Structure 1
Amino acid sequence: MNIKNIIEEKLSEVILNVYQLKDINLEVQENKTEFEGDFTIVTFPLVKQLKKNPESIAVELGEALTEQTELLESFNVIKGFLNVKVKNQFFVDQFRSINNDFDTIEKKNSTVMVEYSSPNTNKPLHLGHIRNNLLGFSVGQILKEAGYDVIKTQIINDRGIHICKSMLAWEKFGKGETPEVTDTKGDKFVGNYYVKFDQEYKKEISELVAQGISEEQAKKDAPLMKEAQKMLLDWENGDEKVRNLWNEMNAWVYKGFNETYKRLGVDFDQVQYESNTYILGKDLIQEGLDKGVLYQKEDGSVWCDLTEDGLDQKLLLRSDGTSVYMTQDLGTAVERFKQNDIQKLIYTVGNEQDYHFQVLFKILGKLGYSWADQLYHLSYGMVELPNGKMKSREGTVVDADDLMQEMHSTAKAKTIELGKLEGLSDEEKEVSYEIIGQAALKYFMLKVDPKKKMLFNPDESIDFNGNTGPFILYTYARIQSLLNNGNYEYKEVPEIEANQHEKEVIMLLSNYKGIVQKSAELLSPALVANYIYDLVKAYNSFYQTNNILKLEDENLKQFRLNLSDLTAKTIKKSLHLLGISTVNRM
């Protein structure tokens, strides 16, 4: 329990003792160094109940806290706000407690599955996938730190008309070339044929429109689209030639995906494939028909009527017997709860799919699955670059690999310009450029609330000042240099008198576990990211205004080194929750 929590608890006891009021929670705010006192207590919620002015209530509470607890050294009242100065001993004890419990995690005995990434095998990962992967992976890390058991998973969309488009384009225009022969990363290689399909398809549509056919009809009649649809049916019917080509091209893509995941620093505990789970969804169709939850039209298609729930009628099985994405997601959800003892399932998917998940959860509830109310859609806003939106089929996507390489190059240029890594070997420098570039990318992506649309600017993200990954890494490296120069070893020290800068750092350090719990509850890594920035700002303020290594008082010097060490450990651990590594020299 941090100092703020202790004050809140004691305050509730005092309000009960003095005013006989239960369950009153007054707001306690941490003060910055320029304010008098360590905390401010907002008394206004009691004004109406007690029919007293806020000043007199604040004085009464200040006196009662002083008399009934060992917390306060002093207090003052300004315009009805109660400012309290907490006894030094509480800060020293709090610091010692944080140090002792640093690696302690209270287990929740609950397992959460987090799904993220889940790409299609017809194109490489792009900028949108980067936000998805970083968000899902970070949420998994935060949930673990909060005491949950976590299963990180993805379902690869390895079947469907999109995959058939890239397969058909390779078959028609590929002339037998392979990623190895063309020295192209496998996912990019297949993605190029997805773009090629779209280019040739548009040509066919234009030709048909020129013959007097409407554009809508031309899209249906274009030979390439008909061939792709036939290929999908052949795949579902197990055609050997189609299946062999499908296996070969998917293998190229998986190899490429794995290279991207490795560089991005994300991983998975489980992987599922739609080619296996779509059949499970089809099995549910009959179950739904038998229960009267679903109905069949004359053309054989199967639907779920959700109009009474404020939604629409949802197609689950086409008239030709092929399934849709919803069918597959139904089957996948059921399979996950069968195969794993999980209490919650989180889908990390962009907000353009909000409606899809409303429908999915509603249908699963109607089918009678009790765990349907334990499903959660972690909806996030789209990512844009300064030059606008992206379209995969037109080949205007910002490729994930290209962006990571750009971050590496920008980090290198900025670091050389500022002379940050002088004295390191060329190999050590390259490793540092990669860590700095990745930190810039990840921190910039994760410091924004997931629900918000974001504009990603690579140049802004690699600023060594302000709320950025490189600024935080630089502070961490500065502390490592301090500890090395001081030949630091942890030693307990007698009680010292903490100044306001030291108290502010201790208060922030004591908030770490509370921030992790709140971040896990809200599924928002942004809380962790902005917590690190607040901690780094407070530490830098302390560092710039206090001597450390030149101190003659050995106890105070040791305390400040201990404080610096715990700050560095907390920065490192917090960055780890965001998937960010650290560097010891900058």
Structure 2
Amino acid sequence: MNVSEILLPHIKKSIELVFNTAVEKIEFQQTRKDFEGDITMVIFPLLKVIKGNPVEIGTKIGQYLVENTQEVVRFNVVSGFLNLVISDAYYLNFFNQIKDNETFGFVSASPNEKAVMVEYSSPNTNKPLHLGHVRNNLLGYAVAEIIKASGKKVYKTQIINDRGIHICKSMLAWQKFGNGQTPETSGLKGDKLVGNFYVAFDKQYKSEINALISEGKTEDEAKKLAPFIQEAQQMLLDWEAGKPEVIELWKKMNQWVYDGFAQTYKNLGVDFDSYYYESNTYLLGKEVVKFGLEKGIFEKDPDGSVWIDLTSDGLDRKIVLRSDGTAVYMTQDIGTAIQRVKDFPDVGGMVYTVGNEQDYHFKVLFLILKKLGFEWAENLFHLSYGMVELPSGKMKSREGTVVDADDLMEEMTKTAGDIASELGKLDGYSDEEKAKLFKTIGLGALKYYILKVDPKKQILFNPEESVDFAGNTGPFIQYTYARIQSILRKADFDYQNVSLNESELHNKEKELIKQIELYPEVIQNAAQNHSPALVANYTYDLVKEYNSFYQSVSILGEDNLDKKIFRVQLSKKVADTIKSGFALLGIEVPERM
């Protein structure tokens, strides 16, 4: 139980006794640095039920708390804010309770709690994963881990877009220009090899368009008449008809891509519990359309197409079945969502990690599922995120100008190595240890740089800035963790089984414990807001607080053994919390740097 939870019933009682009224909600916040206090109660909301001067109201509540609680030792009132000073004994008792708790901040899932399914990645099988996919994967994975830590069962999933004209473009280009190349014969990862043929298709297609335009065709005519696109369209029809040789080629090239993706996911440190494939799900939902028509939720137009009218909900009319009976993406997404709950009956909600260009699509999808009467549809969330751009501008996969995820991770590892070497932090490391450390620092820099930003915001990614060993960066936090590990290695006395009691805390010790105390609340808030940025920036604030503590007090040089033991224990708990918070973000921490 944290200090706000302890104080809450006392404050409510004081209001009942002093003001003869009752309140349900009390608002707390951290005390501003320029005022004395450890926690602040906001008086202004009380003015709705208690008439009077906010300073006088705050003073009376503060006096009651000092006289009737062990925790509050003094107070001050500034305008409508009651700043409460909490006893050192409370913080010492709190610290002694949590210092050896390895899962501090985490809540175990209740057996009866509904699970949450988090979808992320969901790539196309015609190209490798790129920088945009990196943000998607890091967000989805971190949100899944945070929701799990908040006390819910979580399933991680993705839907792989393995069918359509874009897949046929790569297949056709391989047939024309591939000369039988495979990942083994080319020395390329399968997803890179297939991606090269997607680019090759675009190059040939543009050449044919330009030739037709020079013959007098309009651009629109040329795009339709170009032989290469017509061949790709025919291949798609052959795939849908189940033509054996087309299906065989499709399976072979998709497997190359899956193998490549698996390697990238492993390097990135993300995983999945289940996979869905568009080739298996694109017909799902057609039965639901029949059900919706019978219930009057959908309506059929004279041409046979089926729609849903959402104008009364502030949206528009949306097609769910074409006049020829074929499904649209919306139909497929409706069917896939329903199928997932059939596959995992304990799922009570879903999180879709998809870029903000799909905001409207998910508004419509969620509303349709609600109108179809599914209870779990009330618990659907679109984890919408902004684009990731580089100083050079936007990426285009057709033109081969994307930032490849594998290349990016390799570049981050190299950058981390270059900077670490310049700083001279590698004495006594073997080449193998250096390689592992550089990867830990490089990937930590990449992940933290992306995850510290609110998902909704666009990111301008600067690789060198992300690997800075100072400021709000992953390496800065990792370095503080490694520094604490060095202190623990040098502590040549038993600090594990001792508890400090009845001692006055240094202000920096108290501030550090206060920051640690916030961790469980941060996890809950991050889960509710689907925002790993809250965990990332909390960890940075904790590190800043620790470095201030480190500069202000002696740890191993302290003469008083009790204080020395306590400061080592406090350092260890900070390191444990850094490691825990970074694990939620999928970031490793090095024991030495």
TM class, shorter-chain normalised? over 0.9
Q: Secondary structure at the match of 1:491?
A: coil
2:505 aligned with 1:492:
no
2:277 aligned with 1:273:
yes
Counterparts in 2 of 1:169 and 1:80: CA distance versus 1, 3 Å:
closer
1-structure distance, mates of 2:296, 2:213:
44
Native 8 Å contact 1:33 1:500 kept in 2: no
Counterparts in 2 of 1:292 and 1:27: CA distance versus 1, 3 Å:
closer
Counterparts in 2 of 1:359 and 1:46: CA distance versus 1, 3 Å:
closer
2-structure distance, mates of 1:80, 1:446:
35
> Which residue in the other structure is 2:231 paired with?
227
Normalising to structure 2: TM-score of the pair? Answer: 0.94
Counterparts in 2 of 1:80 and 1:142: CA distance versus 1, 3 Å:
closer
1:27 shift after superposition: 3.9
2-structure distance, mates of 1:392, 1:45:
53
Counterparts in 2 of 1:240 and 1:297: CA distance versus 1, 3 Å:
farther
Q: Deviations over 1:331-371 (max 9, x none)?
A: 21111011102011111100101111122222333334333
Range 391-400 or range 25-34, more displaced: 25-34
Structure 1: tracts of 5 or more residues without a match: none
Q: Secondary structure at the match of 1:376?
A: strand
> Which residue in the other structure is 2:411 paired with?
406
> Which residue in the other structure is 1:64 paired with?
64
2-structure distance, mates of 1:178, 1:547:
62
> Which residue in the other structure is 1:582 paired with?
589
> Which residue in the other structure is 1:546 paired with?
553
> Which residue in the other structure is 2:381 paired with?
376
User: What is the 5 A alignment of 1:20-59?
Assistant: 20-23=20-23, 25-31=25-31, 35-46=35-46, 49-59=49-59
1:298 shift after superposition: 5.9
Counterparts in 2 of 1:293 and 1:416: CA distance versus 1, 3 Å:
same
> Which residue in the other structure is 2:91 paired with?
91
Counterparts in 2 of 1:198 and 1:299: CA distance versus 1, 3 Å:
farther
1:516 to 520, 523, 529: 523
What is the identity, as a one-letter code, of the residue corresponding to 1:459? Answer: E
Structure 2: tracts of 5 or more residues without a match: none
2-structure distance, mates of 1:220, 1:506:
67
Counterparts in 2 of 1:283 and 1:46: CA distance versus 1, 3 Å:
closer
Native 8 Å contact 1:38 1:83 kept in 2: yes
2:333 aligned with 1:326:
no
Q: Secondary structure at the match of 1:280?
A: coil
> Which residue in the other structure is 1:531 paired with?
538
Native 8 Å contact 1:14 1:68 kept in 2: no
Range 479-488 or range 347-356, more displaced: 479-488
User: What is the 5 A alignment of 1:235-274?
Assistant: 235-274=239-278
> Which residue in the other structure is 1:392 paired with?
397
1:379 shift after superposition: 0.8
> Which residue in the other structure is 2:441 paired with?
436
RMSD: 2.0
> Which residue in the other structure is 1:453 paired with?
458
2-structure distance, mates of 1:299, 1:42:
62
2:153 aligned with 1:149:
yes
1:66 shift after superposition: 1.0
2-structure distance, mates of 1:530, 1:330:
36
User: What is the 5 A alignment of 1:284-295?
Assistant: 284-295=288-299
1-structure distance, mates of 2:168, 2:287:
24
> Which residue in the other structure is 2:109 paired with?
107
2:215 aligned with 1:211:
yes
Counterparts in 2 of 1:247 and 1:305: CA distance versus 1, 3 Å:
same
Q: Secondary structure at the match of 1:251?
A: helix
1:186 to 183, 190, 199: 190
Range 281-290 or range 350-359, more displaced: 281-290
Native 8 Å contact 1:301 1:319 kept in 2: yes
Range 333-342 or range 19-28, more displaced: 19-28
Counterparts in 2 of 1:219 and 1:306: CA distance versus 1, 3 Å:
farther
Q: Deviations over 1:72-118 (max 9, x none)?
A: 22223445643332121111111122225442634242211000001
> Which residue in the other structure is 1:464 paired with?
469
1-structure distance, mates of 2:335, 2:56:
63
What is the identity, as a one-letter code, of the residue corresponding to 1:221? Answer: L
What is the identity, as a one-letter code, of the residue corresponding to 1:473? Answer: Q
2-structure distance, mates of 1:36, 1:295:
65
2:422 aligned with 1:420:
no
Native 8 Å contact 2:99 2:569 kept in 1: no
2:523 aligned with 1:504:
no
2-structure distance, mates of 1:239, 1:361:
36
User: What is the 5 A alignment of 1:357-372?
Assistant: 357-372=362-377
Normalising to structure 1: TM-score of the pair? Answer: 0.95
Range 468-477 or range 447-456, more displaced: 447-456
User: What is the 5 A alignment of 1:328-347?
Assistant: 328-340=332-344, 341-347=346-352
Native 8 Å contact 1:98 1:510 kept in 2: no
Q: Secondary structure at the match of 2:37?
A: coil
Native 8 Å contact 1:98 1:509 kept in 2: no
Native 8 Å contact 1:3 1:507 kept in 2: no
How many positions carry a matched residue from both structures? 586
1:47 shift after superposition: 5.1
1-structure distance, mates of 2:476, 2:373:
51
What is the identity, as a one-letter code, of the residue corresponding to 1:579? Answer: G
Q: Deviations over 1:15-53 (max 9, x none)?
A: 222112322645433346664333343334445654433
1:219 shift after superposition: 1.9
Counterparts in 2 of 1:442 and 1:193: CA distance versus 1, 3 Å:
same
Counterparts in 2 of 1:242 and 1:562: CA distance versus 1, 3 Å:
same
Native 8 Å contact 2:92 2:500 kept in 1: no
Native 8 Å contact 2:161 2:278 kept in 1: yes
1:199 shift after superposition: 1.5
2-structure distance, mates of 1:294, 1:58:
57
2-structure distance, mates of 1:82, 1:293:
54
2-structure distance, mates of 1:373, 1:211:
56
